[in-house]
A and B are shown apart, each in its own frame.
Chain A
Amino acid sequence: MTRFITSSFSHLILLIGILIMVVPVWMIFASSTHTSSMINMNGLQMFLGDSFYENYLRVLLYQGGFFKEITALKMFFNSFIMATGVAILSVVTSLMAAYALVYYRIKHATLLFWIIFITILVPLELRIFPTYSVMAELNLVNSYFGLIVPISASAIATLFFRQFYKTVPDELLESAKLDGANTWRFFVDFLIPLSKTMIVAMLIFMFVFGYNQYLWPLLVTTSEQYWTVVMGLKMMSGSIVHRFAFVIMSMVPPILIIIVLQKHFIKGVFQDK
C-alpha cells in the first residue's frame, strides 16, 4: 500500500512536470489554428479552431522580410541545409581527428587534444568578429558554406569519440592488422561500425546545435535568401496567429530528426551489448 502511494506520488510529480512543459506549447498550437481577431479579443485558446490550413499555408508561402524575398519554406530549407551540414561535417571531422589522436603515433597527442578541447571555452560568440572577417576575406558571406563551416569544428564530439576509441581493446587493432587491414580499413570497418550509436547521438546533437544557431547566421548573411528559421522567428512580421504557426513549425525539424534517428540510436545501444 505504501508502495502504491509513493509510486503514485512520484507519478504525480512527473505528470505535473509534463504539463508544465506541454501546456504552453499546446496553447500556442491551439491558438495558431484560430483567426487573429479571435485571439486578439479572447486571448490564448485551449481548443483547436478551424483556420489551421489557412494560417499554416499562408505562413509557409508568405513573402517575408524587409525586401519580401524570402518565404518560410525557404527558411526551412536553409535551416535544414545548415543543420545537416553542421551535423555531418562536425561528426566526420571529429571522427577523423579522434582517430588520428588515438591511433597515430603523434607526439604530444594528449597536449594536442587538450588544445582542441579548450576551444570549448572560446565559443563562436566570443570570436565572432575575427571569424566574420575571415569569412569575408574568403568571400564566403552569403553562402551555405559560410553558414556551416565556422561552427563545424566540435571539441565535444572529438572528446566523445576519443574517449570511445580509447576503450577499444588494442587486440582488435592488432588482429585486424594481421588480417591485412590498413589504417583506413580499420577506421571504416571497425571504428565506424563500433561507434555507430555514438555517431547517431552526435548527429542529433549537432543537428540541433546547427539548427538553433542565431547570431552567426545573422552576421554572415546579408541577403534574405539565406535566412534561417531561427532568424525568421525574430524577423517574421505578421499577425499573431501567423507567428504562432511559425513557432510551432520551427519545432518540427529537430523533433523529426530525433524521432527518425532515435530508432537507430536505441537499436545500436542494445545490439552491441
Chain B
Amino acid sequence: MSFLDLKNVTKIYPNGTKAVHETSLSINEGEFMVFVGPSGCGKSTLLRMVAGLEDITEGDINLDGKLMNEVDPSERDVAMVFQNYALYPHMNVYNNLAYGLKNRGIDKETIEQKVNDAAKLLQISDYLQRKPSMLSGGQRQRVAMGRAIVRNPKIFLFDEPLSNLDAKLRIQMRLEIKKLQQKVGVTSIFVTHDQVEAMTLADRLAVINNGIIEQLGTPIEIYDNPKSLFVAGFIGSPQMNFLDGNLKNKTLSAEGFEIKDINSDYEGEVTLGIRPEHLIQTENGLINLKVDLVEQLGSDNLVYGQLKNKKDFCYRCPGNQTIEKGSNLSLNIENNKHYIFDKSTGKRVN
C-alpha cells in the first residue's frame, strides 16, 4: 500500500451534487501530486476529503497505513494552505505559526525553535511580531506556508494557494513552493486550474474533469500522450488545434488534407488534434494558414490565422522568424505528432 491511498472515493453533497465519482488514486511518500482541472470539476472536494473537512460518501482513504474515513481533521496530521490563506487575523505571525504546535502540547522552547526555523526558511523572520493585516499578499502566502511547515505534517494540501497573487509573484512563489517541497520532502497535493502551474510543479499530475480523473501521469507523459480529447485540450498552451475528420482504412481525411498510414484500426468520425508547436513551415505542406494575428513573445511567435474553411488555427514558431499579417503559410506536422480522438467518446484512437 502506498502512502496515501484513495479507493473508490465518491462524494455526493447533501443537495445531490455528485462532485467526485468513484476515484482511486495512490500517492507515494514524498511525491508532489497536482490535481488540475476546470472550475467546478471537484478538485477541492477531493482535497478536502483527504483533509477531513468533507465527509466521504463512499470509499476509503488510507494515510500512512491508517484508515482516515472517521478520523477528525485535527487528528489526521495534515496541513492545508487555503486560497485566501485563512491566517488567524488576531494573532501575530509568530502565534499563527505556533498555534498548531501549542495545541499538540509541545513545550515552549521547542515551539520557539521550530517557529524560528520555519520563519528563516521562508524568510519571514522580520515579520514575526506583525499581524497578518500588516503583510503583503506574498508575505501572507509565506506565513500560510510556514504554518503548514512548522507542524511537520504527514501531508501538505494546497488549494489554489497562488491564485490571489499577481502574475510575477505567482511564478516566483511557484518556484519557491517546489524548492521547499523538495527540501522538506513532505508528500504534497496541490490543486490548481492553471495548467502551467500544474506542469511545472507536479511529479505526477491528475487531470480531473466532472469529478473523474481523466488521466494520471507525469507532466511529460500527459503532454506527449493525452488519452482523451479533454486532456489534450486542457494541457498545453496555447491550446491544441482540433479539426474534424474521418478515419477509414488507416487514412484520415481532415478538413482539406489527408494523412495516410495512421496507426489505428478505428473507423469513423474523429477529431484530429495538432499542437501549435508541432508544426513546421515547408513548401507544399498539408495545411495552409492565412495569418490574422501574430503575438510576439520574444522567444516564440504565436501565429493565429484561419484555414481554407475559415477554421481558427494556431501555429507556434521560433521568435526569430518574421511573419507578416495577411501572409499565407504552408505547414506540415512535425514527425507525425498528431492525435486522433473518437469524436463521440473523446477517447484517443491512435
| Stretch of B15-23, B25-33, B81-89, B227-235 lying at the A interface | B81-89
Kindly list chain A residues whose C-beta atoms are within 8 Å of the C-beta of B100.
Answer: 178-180
Contact status B90-A193, CB under 8 Å: yes
| Stretch of B4-12, B72-80, B263-271 lying at the A interface | B72-80
> Does B53 make an interface contact (CB < 8 A)?
yes
| Stretch of A76-84, A114-122, A181-189 lying at the B interface | A181-189
> Does A248 make an interface contact (CB < 8 A)?
no
Q: How far is the CB of B54 from chain A (nearest CB, A)?
A: 10
Assuming the contacts A178-B51, A179-B147, asked whether A185 and B103 have C-beta atoms less than 8 A apart, the reply is: yes
What are 29 A-to-B residue pairs whose CB atoms are below 8 Å?
A: A171-B82, A171-B86, A172-B86, A174-B51, A174-B80, A174-B86, A175-B80, A175-B86, A176-B88, A177-B52, A177-B53, A177-B72, A177-B73, A178-B51, A178-B52, A178-B53, A178-B73, A178-B74, A178-B78, A178-B100, A180-B74, A180-B104, A181-B74, A181-B99, A182-B74, A185-B103, A189-B99, A190-B90, A272-B90
Kindly list chain A residues whose C-beta atoms are within 8 Å of the C-beta of B147.
Answer: 175, 179
Kindly list chain B residues whose C-beta atoms are within 8 Å of the C-beta of A181.
Answer: 74, 99, 103
Contact status B88-A190, CB under 8 Å: yes
A163 to B73, CA, bound (A): 26
Residues 198-240 (chain B) with a chain A CB within 8 angstroms:
none
Beyond A177-B53, A181-B74, 14 extra complex contacts between A and B, CB < 8 Å: A169-B84, A171-B82, A171-B84, A174-B82, A176-B88, A178-B52, A178-B73, A178-B76, A178-B78, A180-B104, A181-B103, A182-B74, A193-B90, A194-B90
Kindly list chain B residues whose C-beta atoms are within 8 Å of the C-beta of A172.
Answer: 86, 88
**Size bracket of the B interface:** 20 to 34
Closest to B144 in A: A175
Residues 166-216 (chain A) with a chain B CB within 8 angstroms:
169, 171-172, 174-182, 185, 189-190, 193-194
Kindly list chain B residues whose C-beta atoms are within 8 Å of the C-beta of A171.
Answer: 82, 84, 86
Interface of A is mostly: helix
Query: How many A-B contacts at CB < 8 Å in the complex?
Result: 60
Kindly list chain A residues whose C-beta atoms are within 8 Å of the C-beta of B99.
Answer: 176, 179, 181, 189
Contact status A180-B86, CB under 8 Å: no
Q: How far is the CB of A107 from chain B (nearest CB, A)?
A: 13
Interface residue from A175, A177, A273 paired with B82 (Cβ < 8 Å): A175
A139 to B53, CA, bound (A): 49
Q: How far is the CB of B91 from chain A (nearest CB, A)?
A: 8
Kindly list chain B residues whose C-beta atoms are within 8 Å of the C-beta of A179.
Answer: 74, 99-100, 103, 147, 151
Residues 43-83 (chain B) with a chain A CB within 8 angstroms:
51-53, 72-74, 76, 78-80, 82
A180 to B74, CA, bound (A): 4
Residues 74-124 (chain B) with a chain A CB within 8 angstroms:
74, 76, 78-80, 82, 84, 86, 88-90, 99-100, 103-104
A176 to B89, CA, bound (A): 12
A272 to B100, CA, bound (A): 22
Kindly list chain A residues whose C-beta atoms are within 8 Å of the C-beta of B51.
Answer: 174, 178
A174 to B52, CA, bound (A): 9
Kindly list chain B residues whose C-beta atoms are within 8 Å of the C-beta of A185.
Answer: 103
Assuming the contacts A169-B86, A182-B74, asked whether A174 and B103 have C-beta atoms less than 8 A apart, the reply is: no
Q: How far is the CB of B159 from chain A (nearest CB, A)?
A: 9
A272 to B80, CA, bound (A): 24
